[in-house]
């Protein structure tokens, strides 16, 4: 399995990042542990999670995914062989939110405890915090890097302007700098990344690990014209794609998948892996078939005609201002 460097200074990573958002949510603890074993053996050694996963589930308080990962690290003894990414900043309730220095110091200790590790490879600002000075956030991250609790830092859900401002702040003040960006980017969500984020990524040589790579499952072909999304945990997230453009994208995926002897999910991931700026997409799986799609996608190379077909079908209807 080929690897790419995450940004100019980051680690070498596999071509797919395994999403841990499903652990303890749509995948039980036992099934999550088994999946982690299989994924590791297949070479998927970069795992992404967040402290807030899965606070939205009734009865959950957040940290469920990190807790399961911690149990797997303890059981498997594979911690040193895995690149671990987690995040801080989204509201977990009880005032636990934001990117203030005091909260970051508290949140990292909570994550380390749940993960049963003494360091995090890549620690993300999960969402920009306009109420906290950039210098304060980066200063707190710099302390964690110097203390060895965090190896690298990254940003998620930042605008291009705020990302550039953060990088320049690090440069001016000699602080730890973001080496990567985790944006929403897929065949259905192209405009924001391609128009406003990609120029910043290229200027500063950042790594890019997009989330929602399969558009909440829409790009697997599961949701089709006249289909019913009720009963699906992802159903509400795909409603906005059930339109003429969305079904045209599914048709194009079907066509390319048939020509390549693949599935729509594999094609959608392969398309993303071949896009400018992208290092490795994040994707999660809730069963063996989906995990196999992730693994197989790492070996799928699309020819230029297939990429053009998918580009044309998924072209944004309008560019953001």
Q: Nearest to residue 187, comparing CAs of 158, 216, 219, 234?
A: 219
Q: What is the DSSP letter of 184?
A: B
Q: CA-CA distance, 311 to 293, in Å (whole number)?
A: 21
Question: Which active-site residues does the annotation give?
Answer: 53
φ, ψ for residue 277, nearest 5 deg = 90, -25
| Cβ-based burial of 69 (10 A; exposed 0-12, middle 13-18, buried ≥19) | buried
Are the C-beta atoms of residues 74 and 89 closer than 8 Å to each other? no
Crossing angle between the packed helical segments 64-76 and 101-115, to the nearest 10 degrees: 40
- Pairing state of beta strands 120-125 and 83-88? parallel
Q: 49: cis peptide before it, omega within 30°?
A: no
Distance between CA 112 and CA 103 in Å, rounded? Answer: 14
Strand order in the sheet with 282-283: 207-208, 178-182, 150-156, 120-125, 83-88, 46-48, 17-19, 282-283
């Amino acid at each position: 399995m080929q690897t790419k460097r995450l940004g100019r200074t980051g680690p070498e990573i596999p071509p797919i990042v395994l999403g841990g958002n499903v652990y303890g949510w749509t995948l039980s603890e036992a099934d999550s542990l088994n999946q982690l074993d299989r994924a590791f053996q297949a070479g998927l050694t970069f795992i992404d999670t967040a402290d807030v996963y899965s606070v939205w589930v009734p009865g959950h308080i957040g940290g469920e995914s990190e807790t399961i990962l911690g149990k797997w690290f303890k059981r498997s003894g594979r911690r040193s062989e895995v690149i671990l990414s987690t995040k801080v900043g989204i509201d977990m309730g009880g005032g636990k939110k934001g990117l203030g220095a005091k909260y970051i110091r508290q949140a990292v200790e909570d994550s380390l405890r749940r993960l049963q590790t003494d360091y995090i490879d890549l620690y993300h600002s999960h969402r920009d915090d306009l109420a906290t000075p950039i210098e304060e956030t980066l200063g707190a991250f710099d302390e964690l890097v110097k203390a060895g609790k965090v190896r690298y830092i990254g940003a998620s859900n930042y605008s291009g302007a705020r990302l550039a401002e953060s990088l320049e702040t690090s440069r001016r003040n000699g602080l730890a700098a973001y080496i990567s960006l985790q944006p929403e980017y897929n065949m259905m969500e192209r405009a924001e990344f391609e128009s406003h984020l990609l120029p910043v990524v290229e200027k500063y040589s950042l790594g890019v690990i997009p989330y929602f790579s399969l558009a909440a499952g829409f790009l697997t072909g599961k949701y089709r014209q006249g289909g019913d999304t009720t009963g699906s945990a992802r159903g509400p997230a795909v409603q906005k794609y059930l339109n003429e453009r969305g079904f045209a994208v599914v048709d194009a995926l079907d066509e390319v998948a048939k020509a390549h002897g693949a599935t729509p999910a594999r094609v959608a991931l392969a398309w993303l892996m071949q896009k400018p700026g992208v290092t490795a997409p994040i994707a999660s799986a809730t069963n063996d078939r989906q995990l196999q799609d992730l693994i197989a996608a790492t070996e799928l190379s699309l020819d230029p005609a297939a990429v053009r077909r998918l580009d044309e079908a998924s072209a944004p209807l309008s560019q953001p201002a």
